[in-house]
């Protein structure tokens, strides 16, 4: 594997990890823009715009875009998060030129009014679909409660009202500000001839307007609130507990990962033995989310409503125990073995390498091989984990419950 990097005159960076043994090649266009970059009146525009990028250009109709992806047998999709909008495609190497032509054209979309109107209906359907998914409601409610007025609390999808009221002109102006070369990154991974790829990509993306990366990053400590969103249509209680964690720029993210796996992995973790193995909860898992200038530990609990309070109590007691006594040496060893295998397994395919490659550059301007990540993981010590716990105690949680309960009075939440 070989790392390549090039910066074009307009400021756009292009990076690659070349693996001649791969059978496919994956290309990603990463835009540093998401719901945290939106004002309330255009909440949801980043995600809506992601859809509109597939709706055609002066050279292509929306149906042409779909058809051409299918003609080259591409696996492709896009996603929008709180802070990134990512478009990716993977093809057999012989189709790379057509993929590049299609995706570079697509990223200068026409944003036609009639397409905008049809797609708005699809977005409103997507919002309705997620409303029927309690885990999602709990996540969104949790983000809003935890981050409060900080823009990381913005909904990615937006609401029926914000999306319903959005105009095509508002979207065009958002596009002009955010989809500029200094705010975007092109990444390629897999079986690719780097020199040839640079030839293919430079002329279309070199013409994209220059512009700086723009995002105000303020501290995001988290509110510590407790909120209940009653929903009597569902039977289980879905609870999220959110607390602060190392930011994406911090080297402590490896220790945070180790801590998260030891405490809250889907199997074999503290939460698993405390809650899932004895059948007290269907799910009790912890994740680590990293953002620009902020981080978050998130625990998701799903159980019978009658058990929700006792289970949240168990979780907080467990977190205080970890705050005080740290994870054990044998947990540290077990987690490293588990996480190391995960890193290697997910890296076997170009599609699995593309996102780590792109995000390492986007957030930290660094190239990391699979072995670099293994090295960083293996060198995490209990002291590193203790440092994370001291800076980010696990029990300082914001709690949001979605389900049949009307109130959530967790004893241990009152400090």
Binding footprint of another protein on the chain (CB under 8 A): 21-24, 54, 62-63, 66-67, 69-75, 90-92, 118-126, 128-129, 131-134, 233-236, 267-268, 272-273, 276-282, 302-304, 330, 333-335, 337-342, 344-345, 348-351
Cβ-based nearer residue to another protein, 101 or 126? 126
* Catalytically annotated residue among 13, 38, 50, 68: 50
- How many angstroms separate the Cα of 112 from the Cα of each of 31, 60, 119, 123? 21, 12, 11, 16
321 is catalytic: no
Cβ-based nearer residue to another protein, 280 or 310? 280
Cβ 279 to another protein shortest distance, Å: 3
- How many angstroms separate the Cα of 319 from the Cα of each of 271, 299, 324, 325, 357? 10, 11, 9, 10, 33
Which residues on neighbouring strands pair with residue 287, listed in sequence order?
A: 298
Cβ-based nearer residue to another protein, 235 or 251? 235
Tokens of 314: 């168990």
Reported as type and span, the H/E element at residue 47 is helix 45-52
Residue linked to tokens 């400021």: 11
Cβ 339 to another protein shortest distance, Å: 8
Cβ 233 to another protein shortest distance, Å: 5
Q: What 3-state class would DSSP assign to 198?
A: helix
Cβ-based nearer residue to another protein, 151 or 350? 350
Cβ 71 to another protein shortest distance, Å: 5
Cβ 80 to another protein shortest distance, Å: 14
Distance of CA 286 to the CA centre of its chain: 15
6 phi, psi to nearest 5 deg: -150, 140
Reported as type and span, the H/E element at residue 240 is strand 237-244
Tokens of 230: 């009653």
Cβ-based nearer residue to another protein, 13 or 274? 274
Cβ 102 to another protein shortest distance, Å: 12
Cβ 309 to another protein shortest distance, Å: 16
User: In the β-sheet with 294-303, what is the strand arrangement from edge to edge?
Assistant: 226-230, 398-403, 237-244, 294-303, 283-291
Cβ-based nearer residue to another protein, 14 or 96? 96
Transcribe 400-414 into DSSP letters. Answer: EEEES-S----GGG-
**How many residues make up the chain in this entry?**
415
Transcribe 303-315 into DSSP letters. Answer: E-HHHHHHHHHHH
Q: To 10 degrees, the CA torsion angle through 79, 81, 86, 87?
A: 20
- How many angstroms separate the Cα of 400 from the Cα of each of 36, 113, 127, 318, 378? 20, 38, 20, 19, 35
Cβ-based nearer residue to another protein, 155 or 223? 155
Residues taking part in catalysis: 50
């Amino acid at each position: 594997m070989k790392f390549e990097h090039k910066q074009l005159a307009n400021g756009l960076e292009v990076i690659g990890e070349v693996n001649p043994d791969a059978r496919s090649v994956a290309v990603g266009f990463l835009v540093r823009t998401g719901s945290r970059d939106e004002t309330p009146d255009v909440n949801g525009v980043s995600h809506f715009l992601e859809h509109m990028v597939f709706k055609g250009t002066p050279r292509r109709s929306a149906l042409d875009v779909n058809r051409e992806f299918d003609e080259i047998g591409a696996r492709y999709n896009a996603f929008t998060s709180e802070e990134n909008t990512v478009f990716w495609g993977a093809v057999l190497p012989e189709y790379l030129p057509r993929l590049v032509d299609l995706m570079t054209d697509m990223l200068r979309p026409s944003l036609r009014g009639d397409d905008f109107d049809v797609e708005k209906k699809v977005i409103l359907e997507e919002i309705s679909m997620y409303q029927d998914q309690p885990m999602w409601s709990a996540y969104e409610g949790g983000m809003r409660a935890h981050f409060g007025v900080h823009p990381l609390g913005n909904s990615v999808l937006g609401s029926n009202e914000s999306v319903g009221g959005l105009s095509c002109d508002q979207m065009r102006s958002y596009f002009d500000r955010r989809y500029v070369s200094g705010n975007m990154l092109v990444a390629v991974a897999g079986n690719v001839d780097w020199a040839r790829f640079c030839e293919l990509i430079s002329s279309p993306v070199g013409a994209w307007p220059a512009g700086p990366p723009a995002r105000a990053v303020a501290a995001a400590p988290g509110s510590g609130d407790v909120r209940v969103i009653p929903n009597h249509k569902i039977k289980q209680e879905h609870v999220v507990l959110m607390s602060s964690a190392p930011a994406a720029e911090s080297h402590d993210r490896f220790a945070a990962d180790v801590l998260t796996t030891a405490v809250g992995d889907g199997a074999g973790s503290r939460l698993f033995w405390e809650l899932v193995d004895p059948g007290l909860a269907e799910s009790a898992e912890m994740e680590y989310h990293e953002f620009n200038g902020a981080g978050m530990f998130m625990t998701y609990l799903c159980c019978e409503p009658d058990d929700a309070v006792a289970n949240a109590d168990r979780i907080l007691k467990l977190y205080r125990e970890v705050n005080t006594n740290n994870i054990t040496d044998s947990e540290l060893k077990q987690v490293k073995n588990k996480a190391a295998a995960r890193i290697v397994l997910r890296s076997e395919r170009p599609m699995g390498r593309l996102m780590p490659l792109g995000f390492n550059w986007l957030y930290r301007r660094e190239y990391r091989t699979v072995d670099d990540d293994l090295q960083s993981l293996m060198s995490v010590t209990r002291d590193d984990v203790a440092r994370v716990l001291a800076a980010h105690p696990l029990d300082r949680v914001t709690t949001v419950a979605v389900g049949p309960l009307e109130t959530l009075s967790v004893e241990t939440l009152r400090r």
